[in-house]
Each structure stands twice: as structure tokens, then as C-alpha cells.
Amino acid sequence: MLQNKRIILGVSGGIAAYKSAALASKLTQAGAQVKVVMTEEAKKFITPLTFQALTRERVYDDTFEEAEPDKVSHIDVADWADMIIIAPATANIIGKAANGIADDMLSTILLASLCPIYIAPAMNVNMYQHPAVLENMNVLKTRGCQFIEPGEGYLACGWIGKGRMTEPEDIIHYIETSVKKKSPFQGKKVLVTAGPTYEYVDPVRVFTNPSSGKMGFAVAAEASKMGADVTLITGPVHLESPSNVKRVDVISAQDMYDSVMEQYEQSDIVIKAAAVSDYRPIHVDSRKEKKQEGDVTIPMERTMDILAELGKRKENQLLVGFAAESHNLIEYALDKMDKKNLDIVVANNITSENAGFRSDTNQVLLIKRDQEPVELPLASKKSIAKEILAQLETLL
């Protein structure tokens, strides 16, 4: 269950940090990619070099150490992860997480992350039973964090009681059991479209748009991780296929229409993130046309409106459309929702900085029927994809 999972292992400052080395090793052996994040106090018990050797990954311990100038490390790592495990979790890191304190690499990543968080406490029995610690744990539980209960027995401080960190193999068993729990997307057939289309004028000239496909690919990847059976229909892009996703490559709007309609009837959810050409040349020359003096007029015709056709044929499917606009964002998005019978519209202003086509980030409004729009601030397309699926989950 942990094969290819991207896991942050947060190690805070307690004697149980020595167990985290075994946990990092077992996670890596299970096929997971593991990045270790250490607090300064954790390094007093075990060295970063130990974890680097076990995971063959860089260890993160300094919020302000930016090894890659084009990335903000704590945001990049938070976006990368499928889950976070804090083991051992001291009373200190639990308190920071509960109260939104971000004063080191680990606590900052926790504040920036949207993925599931597993916490394995380790501390003295009296600390574990202190009202402040219990209150902080309850706060985190209400936010969705999952606690892996400590064991009882002889503690390093000499006391006997509850507070000993769960053994690494038991932590892994707990997480695998949790991952196996049925998600609303489990077994659902999800159809995603991505990228641009090419409408050829002749063998070397095309009408197209700047879509990179990154948003659609992010949605397909996240849906697959949530247990969905995902088919990704993509126009011409230069992106690697997400894991466990069936990919269908197409060229033109007509190709995409044909492929989508072939899959639509058996689909439960359709997320149409592709930027499909609205027009195509009426005549396509089989030979390259030579340059001429003066202007050229190319007669165009409308392509099939895929989303409108899906809306007409919709039975029990959930249908998500994208509205890339330069102005009147909400007005046009609501109009699209009504005309095309959509359940959710993802609207974004393509003139916004670092959002829209070709960017690694996006800033969108999520609009559902009879509800106020949900505004998502600038974030990675992976994060936006997770939020889109979270909104779909409420409809499922």
C-alpha cells in the first residue's frame, strides 16, 4: 500500500528518535519515497546523516536553507507529500501544530500542508496526560490528524505508564490500514481531459493555445491516489503520465470529442480541464502552402462543444468544467454552469500573475450550484487539484 507513496517523516526531539531511523528504513523498503524533516532538538539524539543514508534523500532541518533558488523549500516539500508522519511527536511539536506556530522547518511544513497527517506521540506519562497536551491533541483530531496511540511500559525517564512511541512496524501497519479504508473515489471511473488541441491548416501550421496540460495531469494524479480508476485524454503535451492512470493521446478537437464520447457512458465523473480549440480551418491542405505577398484569409468553422454535449447527455455523472476568462469571471462561469449543465465550475483569471496557462501554480474560484464561490489563493496545481476533488467528494 505504500509503494510510490511520497512521505515526509517528521522527527522531533525525544529519545524515541532512534526508532525513527528504523521507521525510515522500513518505509523505504516498502517502496515509499521518504524525505526526513528534523527539528534542531532531534539532531541532539540522532544525526541527519543517518536518515540520509537510509532514505538516500536530502534531510531538511533549516527553514531558510534554500538549496534550489527557484523553489521555496518548505512549500515545495509540503506540496510534494502524499502524507506526513511525525514520529516521535513531542508535546512541543504537538502544541506548535495545534496553535499554528511555525518557527522551524517541521512546524512550517505542517502549516503549509494539505495532505493527511499521522502523529505518533512519545513523552513522559504525566506530560501525555496533562490537560494542555490532551487539549492540543483534541484540536488536531478535529482538524483531521490521526494519532497513533503510544504504548504503555517502562519509559526512558524511569516512569512506567503510557507514552512510549509505537514500534515502527506497528506505525506502518496503522498507516496501511488507514490507506486501505474506502475512499468515496474508490472504484469510481474518472475521466479527465487535459492540454491543448491542434487544428492543422497544412502539414506544418496549426491553430492552438498555450495550455501545458499541467492542471489536468495534476487532477488525474490526485484522483488516482484516492483510489479512482482514471482515464486521462490529453492533447499534445510534454508531460510524464501519472502513475496508475490510463492515458489516451489525441491531436484535434474532433479526436478529443470522439475519445471523450467513447468513455462518457461508463464514467462516473468527468473533469474537463483541456483547452479545446473553438474553431478549425474548413479546408486542410495536404501540402505546405508557400508564403504569398499580402494577407491571407483562412475560413474557419466551429468545432463540437464537448462540454455542452456532455451536459446534454448527462445522466448520473458528475461534470466539472473549467472557465478560463480574462474578465467578468463569476458572470461567465455561472453562465457556463447553466448552459452546460455542470456540477462544478473551476474559474480562473488568465491575466493573473503566476496563474493559468503553463504556470506551475493557479488561483481559482470553485463554484457549485446554489452555493457561494470558494476562492482558492495562489497555490500549486497539485493543491488546487486536491481542493477540486474535495469539493467533488461532498457531492459523492
Q: Would you say 278 is a known binding-site residue?
A: yes
Residue that is written with C-alpha cell 467533488 in the block: 392
For residues 86 and 12, the answer to whether their CB atoms sit within 8 Å is yes
For residues 241 and 247, the answer to whether their CB atoms sit within 8 Å is yes
Residue that is written with C-alpha cell 502544541 in the block: 95
309: which residues sit within 8 A by CB, 6+ positions away? Answer: 257, 261
Task: Give the whole-angstrom CA distance, residue 168 versus residue 7.
Answer: 14
Q: Would you say 96 is a known binding-site residue?
A: no
Residue that is written with C-alpha cell 502523529 in the block: 119
Q: Would you say 288 is a known binding-site residue?
A: yes
DSSP designation for 150: P
β-bridge mates for residue 118, sequence order: 85, 146
Cell for 249? Answer: 493521446
Task: Give the whole-angstrom CA distance, residue 4 versus residue 89.
Answer: 24
Task: Give the whole-angstrom CA distance, residue 307 versus residue 312.
Answer: 9
SS3 325: strand
CA nearest neighbour of 193 among 302, 322, 315, 316: 322
Helix (H) or strand (E) holding 372: none
Catalytic, 157? Answer yes
Given the residues 101, 127, 157, 350, the one annotated as active site: 157
Cell for 111? Answer: 502549516
Rounded to the nearest 5 percent, the helix, strand and coil shares of the chain are 35, 25, 40
Task: Give the whole-angstrom CA distance, residue 82 versus residue 99.
Answer: 23
SS3 88: strand
DSSP designation for 60: B
Q: Would you say 340 is a known binding-site residue?
A: yes
For residues 10 and 87, the answer to whether their CB atoms sit within 8 Å is yes
Annotated binding-site members: 278, 288, 322, 336, 340
Please give the annotated binding residues for CTP, written as ranges.
278, 288, 322, 336, 340
Question: Active-site residues: which are they?
Answer: 157
